[in-house]
Structure 1
Amino acid sequence: MDLQDQLKNLFPDHVPEETEEQQEKSNIWLQDDPIICKYEKRKGKPITILEGYTGADEDFKLLAKELKQKLSVGGSFKNDKIIIQGDYRDKIMEILKDKGFNVKRVGG
């Protein structure tokens, strides 16, 4: 029996609130077209580029911030593209699929 089950036994009438992650997940607009995830080298250093999001820029910026925090890497949002420092295609694709996005891997 984990902590959640014990709390349910102690307080059966309590309805838990949504956490921030659940709220953010529901707030981001999901699209039908896949997000393109590709790998490039610029100035000899590897980068991962995400493009093809057709929703609001603010949602895409929030997604960029969340990816950078989860991967503990640097990156930026420019020209409707998320640029992540390093080759993190597999991890990024897994994170986006967990959020409900359709992701397409391009190149290599």
Structure 2
Amino acid sequence: MNNSRLVYSTETGRMCPDCGKPKAKCSCQKKKKGKEAPQPFPQDGVVRIRREVKGRKGKTAIAIFGLPLEGQDLKDFAKYLKQKCGSGGSVKDGVIIIQGDHRETAAEAIKEKGYKVKLAGG
């Protein structure tokens, strides 16, 4: 087995493992950076409410995503929804998670605020 792949050189510095060129002159890393990461949920202006059980030890929760809010506005909206549903919840990565199956209640509360709502999942 030949383990002579050059990783670092005192003359050129770090080497790219894919093309073998110095990192500063590497063209394959620039191609990888050009690709954008896919969005975790569609940004089409429709708020989706999905029922989830997986990863929650059998407990049901709803995930609300697609809201055009960020930061404190999203947290305030989550607080409003938790009060309407009478349940706990949290905000993680731009998704509002509410404990229990309150899809209809949450959908009505979101419609009251003027957003277009779609129930997703079973």
**Over alpha carbons, which structure has the higher Rg?**
2
Map 1:72-91 onto structure 2 (within 5 A). Answer: 72-91=86-105
> Matched residues, percent identical?
45
Q: CA deviation at 1:47?
A: 0.2
More helix by share: 1
Equivalent residue of 1:66, what SS?
A: helix
Q: 1:40 aligns with which of 52, 69, 81?
A: 52
Q: 2:110 aligns with which of 90, 96, 103?
A: 96
Instruction: Tell me the matched-pair count.
Output: 78
TM-score normalized by the length of structure 1: 0.67
TM-score normalized by the length of structure 2: 0.59
Change (3 A) 1:36 1:53: same
Structure 2 gap ranges (5+): 1-42
4+ aligned runs moved over 4 Å, structure 1 = none
Q: CA deviation at 1:60?
A: 1.2
Q: Which moved more, 1:93-102 or 1:47-56?
A: 47-56
